[in-house]
Amino acid sequence: MNERIRADFPILKDIIYMDSAATSLTPEPVLEAVLSYYREYNANVGRGVHRLSQVVSQKYKDAHRKVAGFIGANEGEVIFTKNTTEAINMVAYGLNWAKGDEIVTTLLEHHSNFLPWLRLKEKGVHLKIVKPNKAGLFELSDFEPAMSDRTRLVAVTQVSNVLGTISPIKEISAICKEKGGEDSLFLVDGAQSAPHIPVDVGELGCDFIAFSGHKMLGPTGTGVLWVKNPNELEPTLFGGGMIESVSKDDYTLAGGYERFEAGTPHIAGGIGLGRAVDYLKEVGTGEIRDYEERLAKKLLEGLQSIEKVQVYGSTNLSERIGVISFTMTGLHPHEIALMLDEASDILVRSGHHCCMPLMDYLGLKDGTVRASVYLYNTEGEVDTFLETVERIAKVV
Ligand SMILES: Cc1ncc(COP(=O)(O)O)c(C=O)c1O
């Protein structure tokens, strides 16, 4: 698939970008969609009757429809946010919590799917934390004792941003519905899954999924919260654009996504995100998954064969994506990242990856180096990466 795709990412001409788990690159068609908003129909959404207002409102709505289609949902259930973090916080702030409520989460979580729940301790909400094994995989039976009739929410990441491992979301959802409270809800952090593996909210059996547009070829400042029953969630922001009517004493909220998108949204970004999911669909989410699996295999096998390198996470390719963490005896992860950049223009992430509880659990106080690949990376780039890591390991 590669040459045609790479032509859409001119930034790749002199770098090897392996930091897509932090943010992905943006292809030309998405940039064009963003620019065409400003060049051709720059106006506000949902507020006017003039011609530009009508064009932009329709395009913004279409973008919601496209993103909804991408995850097997309906248009009115998809709310545009600025990122995954905002989306998860909307759930934390938008549900009514009672003292004694319980939240089940895991030790794999990114801080964005951990702190919003930890903060609720102030309200008397208890947090139960399920541990994966050291490879990042769960025993399903570990979720059962964590659930009770006080379980209000289960919040789990579908793919670990450190270990790349895929969690059994469908099965966890079934346990949540069976063993949790009658009104227990299930939130999936899809920040690392939506860009890389086919995601269907019906199949996952969740009530919320949050993900970031900027990690799936969309513009920065874009993210998504899908809500199964929008009426069960209180909006966190109130103001223009989210009401049906307002009187001196009262108001009636609008339905659908508008209820949660008070104020002028990131219109160009939302339209760009719609174009990004079209792009991913054109390439094919299954094809992307297969292609990245090939790159991940090469990366894993290559890294494992280098002396002094320790690789983390499951090595079974069917239960992981191309997000690969490693360390090297004798060097700090930041040193390795700098050396990769300096020696071969390879850009990787290093540190704790916003997962300090997981790093503590794995005994990695300095964190790891994380290489993450996407549809625009090549096998040749993986070869260069492995040769460079090998050279670095030889000089330590
Ligand atoms: C699993 C996971 N959840 C949440 C986030 C937060 O995403 P954002 O910074 O776009 O809010 C990230 C970002 O890396 C992530 O990997």
58 and 95, same structural domain? yes
Top mutation candidate among 24, 81, 88, 161 for ligand 1, by most atoms within 8 Å of CB: 161
Please classify residue 279 by burial: count the beta carbons closer than 10 Å to its beta carbon, then call 0-12 exposed, 13-18 middle and 19+ buried: buried
Under the banding of pLDDT at 50, 70 and 90, the label for residue 25 is very high
202 and 275, same structural domain? yes
Under the banding of pLDDT at 50, 70 and 90, the label for residue 17 is very high
The pLDDT mean for the chain works out to 96
Ligand 1 centre to CA of 176 (Å) is 23
The mean per-residue pLDDT over the stretch 224-248 comes to 95
Ligand 1 centre to CA of 355 (Å) is 10
Taking a C-beta distance cutoff of 8 angstroms, is the pair 396, 308 a contact?
yes
309 and 215, same structural domain? no
- How confident is the model at residue 289, as a pLDDT? 97
Q: Is 157 in the pocket of ligand 1 (CB under 6 A)?
A: yes
- How confident is the model at residue 181, as a pLDDT? 75
Q: What is the pLDDT of residues 134-182, one digit of tens each?
A: 999 999 999 999 999 999 999 999 999 999 999 999 999 999 999 887 7
For residue 118, pLDDT beyond 70: yes
Q: Distance (Å, rounded) from C-alpha 90 to C-alpha 351?
A: 28
Q: Distance (Å, rounded) from C-alpha 63 to C-alpha 86?
A: 19
Ligand 1 centre to CA of 110 (Å) is 7
**What is the length of the chain?**
396
Residue at token pair 């400003």 = 38
Q: Distance (Å, rounded) from C-alpha 259 to C-alpha 46?
A: 12
For residue 26, pLDDT beyond 90: yes
For ligand 1, atom 14, which residue shows the shortest CA distance? 22
The mean per-residue pLDDT over the stretch 236-253 comes to 95
- How confident is the model at residue 46, as a pLDDT? 85
Q: Is 189 in the pocket of ligand 1 (CB under 6 A)?
A: yes
Q: Which residues contact 34 (CB under 8 A, 6 or more apart)?
A: 219, 268, 269, 271, 272
Among candidate residues 282, 305, 340, the one where a domain is terminated = 282
Q: Distance (Å, rounded) from C-alpha 295 to C-alpha 378?
A: 8
Backbone angles phi, psi at 35, to 5 degrees: -65, -35
Among candidate residues 282, 301, 319, the one where a domain is terminated = 282
162 and 189, same structural domain? yes
147 and 244, same structural domain? yes
Is the full-model pTM beyond 0.95?
Answer: yes
The mean per-residue pLDDT over the stretch 22-26 comes to 98
Under the banding of pLDDT at 50, 70 and 90, the label for residue 246 is very high
Helix (H) or strand (E) run with residue 77 in it = none
Q: What is the pLDDT of residues 84-98, one digit of tens each?
A: 999 999 999 999 999
- How confident is the model at residue 1, as a pLDDT? 62
292 and 278, same structural domain? no
Q: Which range marks the domain in which residue 133 is found? A: 29-282
Buried/exposed 190-217: b ≥16 CB within 10 Å, e otherwise? bbbbbbbbebebeebbbbbbbbbbbbbb
Under the banding of pLDDT at 50, 70 and 90, the label for residue 47 is confident
224 and 294, same structural domain? no
Among candidate residues 259, 282, 305, the one where a domain is terminated = 282
C-alpha separations of 89 from 81, 83, 120, 149, 257 in Å: 10, 10, 11, 24, 16
Q: What is the pLDDT of residues 289-344, one digit of tens each?
A: 999 999 999 999 999 999 999 999 999 999 999 999 999 999 999 999 999 999 99
Q: Which atom of ligand 1 is nearest to the CA of 85?
A: 11
Q: Is 321 in the pocket of ligand 1 (CB under 6 A)?
A: no
How many domains, in total, are found in the chain? Answer: 2
CATH number at 112 reads 3.40.640.10
- How confident is the model at residue 75, as a pLDDT? 82
102 and 207, same structural domain? yes
Concerning whether 355 is annotated as a catalytic residue, the answer is no
350 and 234, same structural domain? no
Q: Is 84 in the pocket of ligand 1 (CB under 6 A)?
A: yes
Token representation of residue 74: 């309906």
For residue 391, pLDDT beyond 90: yes
The mean per-residue pLDDT over the stretch 63-83 comes to 96
H helices present in 163-246, as ranges = 169-179, 201-204
Q: What is the pLDDT of residues 252-265, one digit of tens each?
A: 999 999 999 999 99
